[in-house]
Amino acid sequence: MGASAMNRMNPAGGPTTGFRHEVLLHSSREQLLAGVVPYVREALDRDETVLMVVSGDSADLLRAAIGPDAARLDWADSAGWYRRLGPMFEDFRSYLAEQSARGQPSRVVAEQGISAPSTTWLREYLSFESMTNIVYAPYRIPVLCLWDRNRVAPDIADRVTAAHPYLLEGNQTVVNARFLDPVDFLGRARHPELAAPQHVEFTVRLQDAGDLGAARLRLHEHAVRNGFPAERASELVIAANEITTNALEHGRHPVWLAVWRTGEYLVCECSDGGSGFADPTVGFRRPERPTGRGCGLWLARQLADLVQIRSRRSGSQIRLSFALPTVSGRSSG
């Protein structure tokens, strides 16, 4: 598996060809510095632009270690990262596309910046991480991801490793034998079951497209009743409509919509008896035209705070989560 994955990602062999997407899973400051400082120096020696999207703490550490040359790097606070993964992925892709178009050699050092991410959120984040191997590859801009091993559970650390074709060990970039190609990474067998809700607030059964209008109305009303401002409620309806439409068109009737609250989210789940998407990489990239495949799912990823997909032979579920407005009226996160 590892060998064939390696071949798929890196046909010409060697870390300097293909998309140099590597991860440094560090468990100490020393390891962090031992990996990042030479990486940055290499870039500076080659007159590359370096974007450092790291936490404030890491920035302090790295600036001190790099010295005066740190001023030549572009620093951005990773706390500015969005909780909403779809737009973040797309905006970052857009940045890479711009840099690539300019022709200025660059590289990026990135550290996930959301504070206290839930395991659920991390898992979905890592789905995007894996998809960068496909979506960001054409831009050929090296990306080094920094993860603190002390801050993630072992199973998440394994997923982090599996999402990257290269590892930074010490100050050496090496091919990752445990890398999983995105299709494998995102594939059926690799996700835990979605936790069943404690209390479903309502369900809608859809037999055909004619049932969508009434479903939208109910969803909108429910969102507004849960404190969502009109515009956000509309976004919820748009996202839910798209995934439900997919199920009606490609899944098995009847299609079910279930809605409930958790502490943090209003959740809308669409399920049907079909086997779901054959290709798990669908919906991560903006389609070329509105006729593009995966358009509805892409829209859902842009609008929902979290999108979880489970496709099994016995049935499929797509769960959209929308952060509940806080008391002050802003959405949390």
Partner 1 sequence: MGGTPQPVGPAGPSGRGSFAGHVLALLTPWQERVSLMSSWVREGLARGERVACVHHDGEGGDAGASLLDAVAPRVDGWPAARLRGQVMVVSVRQALSAEGAFDPDSLRTRAHNAIDRALAVGYHGMRVVTIGAPFLEAVPDDGAWLALERDFERMCRELPLSVLCQYHDGAGGLVRRAAAGLHRRIVESLIEITVEGAVVRVRGEVDISNYALLESAVGSACGNAETHVDLDLTELQFMDASGLRALTSGTADFRHRSGRVILRNPGPAVARVLRLLRVDVLPGVELRQAGSA
Q: Which residues bind partner 1 (CB under 8 A)?
A: 208-210, 212-213, 216-217, 220-221, 230-231, 233-235, 237-238, 241-242, 245, 248-249, 286-287, 289-291, 295-296, 299, 302
Q: What is the nearest approach in angstroms of partner 1 to the Cβ of residue 27?
A: 40
Question: CB-wise, 198 or 291, nearer to partner 1?
Answer: 291
In this structure, the strands spanning 255-261 and 265-272 are antiparallel
83 close to 122: Cβ distance less than 8 angstroms: no
Distance in angstroms (rounded) separating the CA atoms of residues 333 and 270:
24
Question: CB-wise, 30 or 288, nearer to partner 1?
Answer: 288
Beginning with the edge strand found earlier in the chain, give each strand of the sheet holding 74-77 in spatial order.
Answer: 74-77, 49-54, 106-111, 143-148, 21-26, 166-169, 172-175
Q: What is the nearest approach in angstroms of partner 1 to the Cβ of residue 303?
A: 8
Question: CB-wise, 5 or 239, nearer to partner 1?
Answer: 239
Rg, the chain, Cα only: 21
Transcribe 249-270 into DSSP letters. HHS-SSEEEEEEE-SSEEEEEE
Question: CB-wise, 64 or 209, nearer to partner 1?
Answer: 209
| 148: exposed, middle or buried (Cβ count in 10 Å: 0-12, 13-18, 19+) | buried
Torsion over CA: 189, 191, 195, 196 (sign) = negative
Q: What is the nearest approach in angstroms of partner 1 to the Cβ of residue 221?
A: 7
283 close to 302: Cβ distance less than 8 angstroms: no
Question: CB-wise, 31 or 245, nearer to partner 1?
Answer: 245
Q: What is the nearest approach in angstroms of partner 1 to the Cβ of residue 215?
A: 10
Q: How many CB atoms lie under 10 A from the CB of residue 237?
A: 21
Q: What is the nearest approach in angstroms of partner 1 to the Cβ of residue 245?
A: 5
Distance in angstroms (rounded) separating the CA atoms of residues 131 and 164:
10
Distance in angstroms (rounded) separating the CA atoms of residues 226 and 233:
9
Question: CB-wise, 76 or 238, nearer to partner 1?
Answer: 238
- Count how many Cα atoms sit within 13 Å of the Cα of residue 303 in the half-sphere of its side chain: 23
Going by C-alpha positions, the residue among 75, 156, 82 that lies closest to residue 112 is: 82
Question: CB-wise, 74 or 279, nearer to partner 1?
Answer: 279
Question: CB-wise, 22 or 242, nearer to partner 1?
Answer: 242
Q: What is the nearest approach in angstroms of partner 1 to the Cβ of residue 306?
A: 18
Helix (H, G, I), strand (E, B) or coil at 3: helix
Q: What is the nearest approach in angstroms of partner 1 to the Cβ of residue 213?
A: 5
Q: What is the nearest approach in angstroms of partner 1 to the Cβ of residue 153?
A: 34
